[in-house]
Structure 1
Amino acid sequence: MSIFEGFLSTPETLDAFDDRSFVDAMLRFEAALARSQAAVGLIPESAANSIVNSCKVELFDVARIVRESGRAGSVAIPLVKALKEAVGLFNADAVAYTHFGSTSQDVIDTATAQVTRNAMALIEADLSRAIDALLEHAVQHATTPMLARTLMQPASVTSFGYKCAGWVAPLVRSRNRLRVAKANALNVQLGGAVGTLAQMGGKGGEVMQRMADELELGNAGATWHTQRDEWVALGCELGLMVGALGKIALDISLLGQYEVAEVMEPTEPGRGGSSAMPHKRNPVASMVALAAAQRAPQRVAALLGAMPQQHERALGAWQAELAEWPQLLMSAHGSVRALASALPGLQVDVVRMRANIDRLRAELPKEAADEWFNPALAENAGRLALAQVERLRGLDKPNKENL
């Protein structure tokens, strides 16, 4: 991870996708595979116990596995080699049953689904914090008059509450869509060499379900080695969320300019300072969210571009997808964490908002000023804001099975 990328994400997401965490997730796959195969009589119980007892990340040289993955063409190959060596130290007969009937993509896709599930839990928690903060602002400032801007120019009077309702609506919709996309995408992968589970003698479906239950993942009912639609759909939904957060960040940064000074990010020691100009209050949360909004579209485009994959197993496209996926999740969580931390403490200067309206009114003919820039227009915007909040709260009925 580059020094220029770390602060655009979060420590938790960086940890979720670090080398040790990923190898640990692959070993959880191997342990679940062995237990499930033993349960249906495909491999001896003694072999499964030896495999499971060897699937402990502290027993492995993670750095060496990662180094050897380049020459092998897959991180699963050196991992399985090291696992068989570890199993063989205690039970030579169990080596033949290690990784039985599986293939490299099975272990890597399932490990990716596991670490993605952990990252998605972080994203959803912070997204909910951001939503709650904006809903509160929408109610609190339902009738607070402010200038609306179109084409970067004053348009008429709206309310800050109505602006917040407009900010939060895409986030509520995004949260609901992410729950559905996550449930559809985060599945165990198990297909064997060509997706037919031929080595498992008709018991592959039962093994797959047992693994899904143990690893707390879904079961697509079949391999999805080159069927990437649900997986990429989750990536697209993350991209939409990042874009919606970027829009909020852009508005906040514009409203926080010295010449406008209507809304500012919260202040605290060490936040948003300048190395040269002590008077500056840089909107660092907006900066992180805007950086993510610049980067996420390329990640999503790469996922879409990698969807045409050859026959039953991809050469190059799947590998490209794997490289892009963590970066998208890291940007997504960095964005939502930054705004979730800033939105509850937004400094809303209602006096400045009114002063900016009055200054514009003074420069216009009375008829135009009364028609377009009467602060009383905020009352109507306030009614719309409260109606929008009620509607959004009605839409937000999460399916507990998808949480």
Structure 2
Amino acid sequence: MVATHNAPFSMLWQFAGNATQCEIYSAQNTIDSLLRVEAALAQAQGEQGVISVQDATAIKGACVAENIDHDELWASARNVGYPIFGLVRQISEHLPEGPDGRVHYGATTQDIMDSGLALQMSASLEALDAQLQRLGDALATQADRYKDAVMAGRTHAQQAVPTTFGASIAVVLDELRRQRERIASAHESVRVISMFGAGGTNAAQGPHSIQVRGRVAELLGLRDTDVPWHVDRDRLSEYGFVCATLCGSLAKLARDIVDLSRTEIGEVFEPFNEHRGASSTMPQKVNPISSELIIGISASASALLSAFTRIQEAGHQRAAGEWQAEWLIVPTIGALAGSALDEAIVIAEGMRVDTERMKANLRLDGGLIMAEAQMIQLADHMGREHAHDLVYAASERARAQGTVLGEALREVADEQGKGQLLPDHLVAPQDYVGEASHIVETAISNWQGSTPLAAATEHAARR
């Protein structure tokens, strides 16, 4: 219902309170959304003859922010349990006798609050997608810039085979493209009108209920539906899932930055300015603070996600407690997702990459990262299994003696009488990156071909 970012919430919230999301779910914007719904309801009822056009016009004129005393509204809400009772009374106070009795006509509290929430969740997803556009564009630029920067690919935290930094970024970029598709799907799910009355049958709206609901949806830019969703909260769970998994995708990027910026690796770092990531006691420290915050946010969002499936338990025709949980978890998870995107944009746009350190790290462990490559190179001449055994024996010797794999391989091959099968030039890291360039080009092309939510929404509105 209302974001709690102005309350003493947590230290994390001081870092993770994305300004746009907090504004979308702020007390003022919440009230504005509710007023928009009440005004649209009056207009639709006036057009359908449920109330007079004059009354509808008067009500619309009274549904403005300056007519609402916030302190009085929230005091009433704490007493009643919901803000709509007090909201309607305050609107009515600014109307003469007659139209004052037509405010909120035939509607129920949750009709107004759910429709207002639909407006807020829609705006939230649109804002997240706008941030995602900026992040994806930055990662696409970095992927292209480093598409030929050869580095160690790592599996199980150990060097495995060569790859490129561009290809590593491309994997994240393509995941963000899929997240964009999920955002668009969730946006379509949540932007739905709720106008079904006390028990979900809309009886109080009378014979024009369907027409009124459809017109309210049109006026608000929401989708119409003929099926109530007062206690069917899977729409909200979809919103929560998208926000939480988006944080998870960004945490994957953050974890890679944390690992690659380790002193012993030193290949990729967050942007730097004076005292960024500083320690109070160790002057040399430049901690990966954006990445750490993203990981913390993702952990919080993941835990919060479980509450979204819990609210789906709401029974009968109205929840008894589950609904109230939404008032905290919906704005919180939206703000967390927005904050994770804030930090990811900082990383993507300002990352520092040491390509020379990447080359140097390829030579660690005596170049054993080329074991698979050299095995494949020899497989044409002696078969894969024989080549595997030969390179395995050479790898053991190189590690034991602290020598280079290539030298150990020639020694072992000569001892086994297979020296003549070795080529003059063993494959080098830059020759063994497979489809890396194609992966980068494909990921960038797919990202550039994805449709921003704002453009998709505008197109749908024109239809």
Q: Quick one: which of 10, 23, 40 aligns to 2:48? A: 40
Residues 93 and 167 of structure 1: is their aligned pair in 2 closer, same or farther, counting only changes over 3 Å? same
Note if 1:389 corresponds to 2:443. Answer: yes
Q: Cα offset for 1:386?
A: 2.9
CA distance in 2 between counterparts of 1:98 and 1:35 reads 11
Note if 1:102 corresponds to 2:107. Answer: yes
Equivalent positions of 1:315-394 (< 5 A) are 315-361=320-366, 363=402, 365-367=404-406, 374-377=428-431, 379-389=433-443, 392-393=446-447
Q: Quick one: which of 154, 157, 165 aligns to 2:162? A: 157
| Residue correspondences, number | 400
The residue identity in structure 2 corresponding to 1:254 is D
CA distance in 2 between counterparts of 1:393 and 1:318 reads 37
Q: Which runs of 5+ in 2 are unaligned?
A: 368-401, 410-424, 459-463
Moved more, 163-172 or 65-74: 65-74
Deviations 1:237-267 (A, max 9, x none): 2221111111111111111122221111112
SS class of match (1:376): helix
Residues 103 and 381 of structure 1: is their aligned pair in 2 closer, same or farther, counting only changes over 3 Å? same
CA distance in 1 between counterparts of 2:10 and 2:252 reads 26
Residues 206 and 258 of structure 1: is their aligned pair in 2 closer, same or farther, counting only changes over 3 Å? same
Query: What corresponds to 1:80 in structure 2?
Result: 88
Deviations 1:186-243 (A, max 9, x none): 1121111111221222212221222222212222233211122233222212221111
CA distance in 2 between counterparts of 1:165 and 1:189 reads 41
Is contact 1:157–1:375 with CA below 8 Å preserved after alignment?
Answer: yes
Is contact 2:170–2:444 with CA below 8 Å preserved after alignment?
Answer: no
Q: Quick one: which of 17, 22, 28 aligns to 1:20? A: 28
Query: What corresponds to 2:263 in structure 1?
Result: 258
Deviations 1:73-112 (A, max 9, x none): 112222222222233xxx1111211101111111111111
Deviations 1:15-44 (A, max 9, x none): 211111111111111111111111111111
Q: Quick one: which of 242, 245, 268 aligns to 1:237? A: 242
Deviations 1:258-305 (A, max 9, x none): 222111111234643334434322222212211221111122210111
SS class of match (1:156): strand
SS class of match (1:79): helix
Is contact 2:236–2:308 with CA below 8 Å preserved after alignment?
Answer: no
The residue identity in structure 1 corresponding to 2:76 is E
Is contact 1:8–1:335 with CA below 8 Å preserved after alignment?
Answer: yes
Is contact 1:159–1:381 with CA below 8 Å preserved after alignment?
Answer: no
Query: What corresponds to 2:419 in structure 1?
Result: none
**Normalization by structure 2: what TM-score?**
0.81
Q: Cα offset for 1:382?
A: 2.4
CA distance in 1 between counterparts of 2:223 and 2:437 reads 43
Is contact 2:77–2:83 with CA below 8 Å preserved after alignment?
Answer: yes
Query: What corresponds to 1:56 in structure 2?
Result: 64
Deviations 1:28-61 (A, max 9, x none): 1111111111111111122112211111112212
CA distance in 1 between counterparts of 2:71 and 2:211 reads 34
Q: Quick one: which of 146, 169, 173 aligns to 1:168? A: 173
CA distance in 1 between counterparts of 2:128 and 2:42 reads 32
CA distance in 2 between counterparts of 1:373 and 1:320 reads 60
Q: Which structure's CA Rg is the greater one?
A: 2
CA distance in 1 between counterparts of 2:432 and 2:442 reads 15
Is contact 1:8–1:291 with CA below 8 Å preserved after alignment?
Answer: no
Query: RMSD value over aligned CA atoms?
Result: 2.4
CA distance in 2 between counterparts of 1:17 and 1:138 reads 35
Query: What corresponds to 1:188 in structure 2?
Result: 193
Q: Cα offset for 1:310?
A: 1.2
Residues 314 and 24 of structure 1: is their aligned pair in 2 closer, same or farther, counting only changes over 3 Å? same
The residue identity in structure 2 corresponding to 1:27 is L
Residues 11 and 393 of structure 1: is their aligned pair in 2 closer, same or farther, counting only changes over 3 Å? closer
CA distance in 2 between counterparts of 1:369 and 1:121 reads 58
CA distance in 2 between counterparts of 1:333 and 1:66 reads 27
Query: What corresponds to 1:228 in structure 2?
Result: 233
SS class of match (2:93): helix
- Greater relative contact order, per chain length (Cα 8 Å cut-off, separation 6+): 1
Q: Which runs of 5+ in 1 are unaligned?
A: none
SS class of match (2:147): coil
**Normalization by structure 1: what TM-score?**
0.92
Note if 1:29 corresponds to 2:37. Answer: yes
